[in-house]
Structure formats: C-alpha cells, structure tokens
Structure 1
Amino acid sequence: MNVSSEEVRKLDDKIKVLEQKKKALEYKITTEDRRARTRRLIQKGALFEKYLENENVSLLETELLLKVLADFKKKNSDYVSRQIQKIMENTEANESKKSN
C-alpha cells in the first residue's frame, strides 16, 4: 500500500478543519454556559432584592445578611425544608385551581 504525500497533506488539512470546528464548538459551549450562569445570578439577585427589600444596602451588609441566613438554614435545615415544601404545595394547589 503506497501512501502519497498528497494524501497525507489532505488528511492533515481535514484534521486542521476538524480541530477548528472542535475549538469553535468548545467556545460556543463555554459561552452558553457563561450566559446561563449570568442569567441565573441575575435572577437570584433580583429575587433576593425583591423578598428581602435589600436594594439600598451595601455589599458588605448584603454579604453579612447572607451569612446569617446561611447559618440559620444550616441550623434549621428540617424546618426550612418543611417550609419550602409547604410553599410549593400551596403554589401547586393555587395553580391547579386557576387552571380549572
């Protein structure tokens, strides 16, 4: 089996094209992941301000509040879980009433 240098060059060209496509896809994936993360962070920040009325508070005070809430959640995880479950059930019940 004789392999010509032309065949090797063509294969090298194909490899380069595929590597470029791979890099483009990897860039697209990381860009989409970053956008999704940014969107999620913005949504969570908006909810934080909405429910805790935390618009005019410094970044340091916000961080301290979050530390307090995190500590509360850790110490009262069962209570927090039950409250979340109740809220979810109430929300589902209200949505089901609206659809009927």
Structure 2
Amino acid sequence: MQYQANNIDDRIKALEQRKKALERHLNNSDRKARTKRLIETGALAEKFFDIDHLSLSQKEEFFKIFANYIKANTPSKFKKQK
C-alpha cells in the first residue's frame, strides 16, 4: 500500500506543478494582451490627437482637459456594459 500512496502523492505533486505552469501561462497571456491593447490605444491617441511631440506629463494634462467632456458625451454604444 505504501507504493500506491507514494504514487498518488507523486501524481498530486505533478498535477499541482502543471496547475502552476498553466496559471503562469495564463498570467503571461493576459499581460501580453494588456500590453498590446495599451500600445494600440496609445498609437491611436497619438494619431488622432497629434500629441506625439508632448512629454508624458503634458499628455496627461491634455487628457485631463478633455476627459470629463468625453465621458459625458460618449455614445451609449461605446460605454462599458454593466
């Protein structure tokens, strides 16, 4: 019976390691997807607002100026679904 218990313990450890590996993979995939989305959004902001010459703090100030207007006037089809 000791052999079977060790075998089961080994399988449990192997499954736990596999689970951790899958979680790492999912976290990496989520992180990569978020990074891609942020890069694309930044590129669109620079393209449509012609702000590529501004520093980061100037860009932040620029976005703050228009944020309330955009939030208040965003069509419902573009609003986050609750």
Task: Name the TM-score, length of structure 2 as normaliser.
Answer: 0.86
The gaps in structure 2 that reach 5 residues or longer are none
Which residue, out of 3, 7, 20, partners 2:4? 7
1:23 aligns with 2:20: yes
Offset at residue 14 of structure 1 (A): 0.2
SS in 1 for 2:39: helix
For residues 55-74 of structure 1, what are the structure 2 equivalents within 5 Å?
55-74=52-71
Task: Supply the distance in 1 between the matched residues of 2:9 and 2:60 (Cα, whole angstroms).
Answer: 54
1:5 to partner: Cα distance: 1.0
Which structure has the greater CA radius of gyration? 1
* Aligned Cα root-mean-square deviation (Å): 1.5
Secondary structure at the counterpart of residue 56 of structure 1: coil
Size of the aligned set, in residue pairs, is: 77
Which stretches in structure 1 are left out of the alignment for 5+ residues? Answer: 85-100
**Deviation at 1:63?**
0.3
Higher RCO (CA < 8 A, seq sep 6+): 2
**4+ residue runs over 3 A deviation:** none
Q: Using the alignment, how far apart are the partners of 1:37 and 1:8 within structure 2?
A: 43
Q: 1:40-97, CA deviations, whole angstroms, 9 ceiling, x for partnerless residues?
A: 00000000000001111011110011111211123x32xx318x7xxxxxxxxxxxxx
